[in-house]
Chain A
Amino acid sequence: MATAVTPLVESTALVARRGDFFRRMPPKAKIGGGILVLFVLLAIFGPVLAPYNPDDTINGSTSALAPSLHHLLGTAYGGGDVLSQLLYGLRGTVELGVITATIASILSVGIGVSAGFLGGAADEVLSLVMNVFIVLPALPLLIIVLGFLPKGSGVLPTAVVLSALGWSWGARVIRAQTLTLRGRDFIAAARETGERTWRLVAFELLPNEVSLIAANFVGTFLYAILTSVALAFIGLVTFSSWSLGLMLYWAQSEGGFSTGAWWWYVPPGLVAALLGMSLVLLNFGLDELGNPRLREATVRRKGGPDSKPSRRRRQPWRPTDPTPVERLEPSS
């Protein structure tokens, strides 16, 4: 029979839908991601944007100066420009967060996946290590360990200590997820095709855990930032580089709070809070992105079948509701 066979890919509709990815992202992820990107850009380009050297002082200045055209966010005690300190401090804090989250993620993915996938004695040993790290009292230990670190040692030692104490929760979650995935048919099928273990893990298993790992990364990022700010506030901080916590420490120890110099301590506090909020929002958003069941089901209305998809309203819908009836067309 000589009939026209419809081509396999008839339209670009499928391809075009890929572009909707950003539009389809949950609003939480959009807001959180937006704020985070802004802060990360500020952290990267902060030193270029900063109007002064944050360590500069003004000769003879004996008090913190209120905001003015010269110093947009005022100065700290002794004349250091708060805006410049903020930009440098943001950089230091974000840097610490990224390094800590990276180290902790590598640790938790490596140990969690190994424990879950290998099972047996390896699982027993690694699980024991995880459990020990989970029950370690983190805060007192941090205070003691950071207290011993030399004061001018930079970001890296703090990051290492924070990640050493922060990886175990993520590892447990990833181990559990690995346990549920390793028994699935597609893993057995891949094993049957003769793939090596590392390929199984890297190409069959890990892609299924990406959203979990991303959420874990963001969560550790948040933990690192909040912990480091808190520790810096009580003075357990490296004084060689600026961070948001260090700014708060100086504001407190040099009388910023008692003299009511709000321009000194409000900006770093606000930036730390916003940064934390953006990470939490991003985390919830990533969760929804990776787990469609968390998404709020909505009914997307478009105009009639012929009208353009311009007026899109969303209407909440619960799983127990009957299929909505929207009589868009005149029934014939």
Chain B
Amino acid sequence: MSTVSCATSESMPSAEAAQQKPVLEVRDLSVVYDGDTRAVDHVDIALAPGETLGLAGESGSGKSTLALGLCRLVRPPAVITSGSVIYRGSRVAPGGVDLLELRSRELRKLRWREISIVFQSAMNALNPVLRIRDQLGDVLDAHLHLGRKEKRDRLDTLLDLVGIPRERLRSYPHELSGGMRQRVMIAMALAVDPEVVIMDEPTTALDVVVQREILAQIVELQDRLHFAVLFITHDLSLLLEIADRIAVMYAGKVVEVGSAEQIHNRPAHPYTQGLLRSFPSVHGARRELAGIPGTPPDLRSLPPGCPFVPRCSHATDKCRDIDMRIRPVPGSDPSHLSACPFVTPEMAKANTPKVKAATSKGTT
């Protein structure tokens, strides 16, 4: 994993770097729909320069709303009701600027130039009646002042970067395959050299082979260009492979944050433990897949205390009035945080003895 986080200081684990000077720091962010649906509920996460932070969770857990909310891209009836989003870009705001305090003009300057997004489905994010050249060119025109020649060179470089032949600049989106369109979206996200790239399920509609190619490309590009990635997906196993740190969301709350190793080997929250039990390990021993019983909760009428209580095998009456703030997991590195004060990583192992703690993760 150390190949990915080269922008942070060499020997320091990126998890610690995150605590020192995150490039993007979300504090106590809440996004509320229609006054009573808390899609994002007092979330704290931080993104270190050059790091890949994975955001995992079921459908409807608030992953996308969090990502769009921190860029202030959700539409009313959604409203941000609390928190701050501090951005510390070396180019514009080394001291940090709160995105939630900015006026729309200032925010517009920051968008894409500093924080760009790869949206969920490439088919809908590209305009079907404009050539790729024009769409990529628009981004350059909006943020950089380039001459004709410079612009053309930059467009060529961008396509080289994501591995698409230069002739494709003349194509319309429908003439490209799904994977190529997704690559164009990535090229567009990187067009003006942002410090943070948010990727909202960038590979969901693609088959696993293309998916792997694109992910490898993202990791390689990140290596060269040193941007930080907030990677959103429901696929926890994917995150275990590519992310430095992982945040797990449930019912609008972050229930656990930790490095990929910590999440994989010592999951502390019962929900994370359940997620890890619901897919097979490629390298580990064969075992029964358990899954998580029940369905995600209705965000309009959440039970008091922990929202996971109805589906949790460790649930007790005490869970109904706990504080859902994440705190360090006892017996683990201080960077490993969990919202559950009762369950420890050891309890998970005791509960499911068949799980072999197999390290599918890299060689580190």
Contact = CB atoms under 8 A, between A and B. Distances in A.
Given A10-B298, A321-B104, A329-B30, A3 B311 contact: yes
A68 interface: no
B75 A323 contact: yes
A297 B28 contact: no
Interface string B82-126: 111000000000000000101010010000000000000000000
A3 B301 contact: no
Interface of A is mostly: loop
Contact of B80 (A5, A297, A323): A323
A258 interface: no
A311 to B, nearest CB: 11
Contacts, number: 97
Interface in B310-339: 310-313, 315
Contacts of A59: none
Contact of B35 (A309, A320, A321): A309
A299 B77 contact: yes
Interface string B2-25: 000000000000000000000000
Interface string B54-71: 000000000000001100
Contact of B107 (A305, A322, A332): A322
B300 A13 contact: yes
Interface in A13-65: 13
A329 B81 contact: yes
B81 A317 contact: no
A324 interface: yes
A305 to B, nearest CB: 8
B216 interface: no
B79 A324 contact: yes
B238 interface: no
B78 interface: yes
A6 to B, nearest CB: 5
B295 interface: yes
A332 B72 CA distance: 21
Given A6-B294, A300-B76, A322 B104 contact: yes
B301 A10 contact: yes
With most chain B CB atoms within 10 A of its CB, the pick from A6, A323, A324 is: A323
A327 interface: yes
Contact of B72 (A3, A301, A302, A323): A323
A322 B73 contact: yes
A1 interface: yes
A3 B315 contact: yes
Contact of B310 (A3, A11, A309): A3
B74 A3 contact: no
B213 to A, nearest CB: 28
B178 interface: no
Interface string B223-241: 0000000000000000000
B35 A302 contact: yes
Contacts of B42: 332
A18 to B, nearest CB: 15
Nearest to A319: B75
A325 interface: yes
A329 B34 CA distance: 15
B297 interface: yes
B301 A13 contact: yes
B166 to A, nearest CB: 33
A332 B28 contact: yes
B82 A1 contact: no
A331 B79 contact: no
B353 interface: no
19 contacts: A3-B310, A3-B312, A6-B294, A6-B310, A6-B311, A299-B76, A309-B36, A319-B75, A322-B72, A322-B73, A322-B102, A322-B104, A323-B75, A325-B100, A326-B79, A326-B81, A329-B81, A330-B82, A331-B28
Interface of B: 28, 30-32, 34-36, 42, 68-69, 72-84, 100, 102, 104, 107, 290, 293-295, 297-298, 300-301, 310-313, 315
